[in-house]
Amino acid sequence: MSEAHDAVEVIIAKRDGAALTDSQIDWVVDAYTRGAVADEQMSALAMAVLLNGMDRHEISRWTAAMIASGERMDFSSLSRPTADKHSTGGVGDKITLPLAPLVAACGVAVPQLSGRGLGHTGGTLDKLESIPGWRAALSNDEMLAQLESVGAVICAAGDGLAPADKKLYALRDVTGTVEAIPLIASSIMSKKIAEGTGALVLDVKVGTGAFMKDLDRARELAGTMVGLGTDAGVHTVALLTDMSTPLGRTAGNAIEVAESVEVLAGGGPADVVELTLALAREMLAGAGREDVDPADRLADGSAMDAWQAMVRAQGGDPDAPLPTAREQHVVTAPSDGVLTRLDAMAVGLAAWRLGAGRARKEDPVQAGAGVVWHARPGDAVTARAPLFTLLTDDADRFDRALASLDGGYDIAPPGTSYTPDPLVIDRIA
């Protein structure tokens, strides 16, 4: 077949700083998905986008072209409104696990398509797969039925949603173009818009353990994604949240599930509860249910009921014991004092090196591996008392994990005052 455009012409246009036309964008995304544009050509275009950027219309059109490469889901048959959340990824970020059933308990359906961990950031599906019997792969019909009966589903995205993104994401990963904000934003939002949710809340992490280390860049990414959602008719809000300190007290898989269940039982770490409630309130507002206070649903046990129903619906046993690691190593505090810094990247790398994460997407993960920290910034610590517990099935991994933690925390003299940074830094709507 004769092609409407030529790949070199599109590359040169963006290389020279021009805005791509709608026709060029539609063609190049479709042609790349079909294989008519080669990987080396698309990598050259991705680099040109990284260096020269895209305007709001270009990014919106690029996102629409990515969506058009696959199917769109439709939840209009459900008896309740829908809302979803996307996090850009962090350390100890188990928020999806308590959040989805909590929002479902408030009368809003949550179609949460989640991913697996890569590098130092944990994957929601990896965490849930530590529950005996739980399965991530659902058909669209199974997903729809579960949303109607339970109100929440957390599962893997099918191959039908934005296949152009799957191909382009893998290419960006090996060509140094991951950081291009137009491509990050269109990657995330093409899948979320194709998913068909009515309202979307974005948790854009910023800090040492986040993909975005810089507040201005995080704000730019959040604003770009909110614009894309708004242009597509999806009620979209973003919260910028701190990821310099890891969330909660655990980073791993099964240990994060256990911590999530504590939150659903009305307990759990204060920061995890705070962020879960903040995101839940945004999701409920976007779905028109501001009349419900999610804190009440944590207190009355209905969020826990929704969690158990959600896990059972996907073949899991919510009452089964979670896997535990075969080996553990305790790191003690070197002195009395106050913990004033706990670096999220240091903890994330340690958990990854213990086996909780993967370096390549085909690598297996250990369900029981991870890091537990026994103090958070602001807490008093005592010399020789436990500061971290490292968990793994393979004791040979301890040395590299300990090297990750070296220099990853500060202990100030006893009595030092500590003022925490706010967890929610900004809201972009």
404 is a catalytic site residue: no
Question: Residue 131 in contact with residue 309, Cβ under 8 Å?
Answer: no
187 is a catalytic site residue: yes
d(CA 98, CA 335): 35
Residue among 5, 172, 205, 297 flagged as catalytic: 172
149 is a catalytic site residue: no
Residue among 61, 116, 191, 289 flagged as catalytic: 191
Residue among 26, 84, 93, 165 flagged as catalytic: 165
Torsion (CA) 100, 102, 103, 109 in degrees, nearest 10 = 60
Task: Find the distance separating the first CA and the last CA of the chain, reported in whole Å.
Answer: 44
Nearest residue to 267 via CA among 275, 259, 278, 276: 259
Phi, psi (rounded to 5 degrees) for 428: -125, 120
DSSP tag of 395: G
Residue among 69, 186, 187, 190 flagged as catalytic: 187
165 is a catalytic site residue: yes
Residues 6+ apart with CB under 8 A from 375: 333, 339, 342, 381, 387
Phi, psi (rounded to 5 degrees) for 27: -70, -45
Residue among 86, 127, 281, 397 flagged as catalytic: 86
- What is the crossing angle of helices 22-34 and 7-15, to 10°? 130
86 is a catalytic site residue: yes
Active site residues: 86, 165, 172, 187, 191
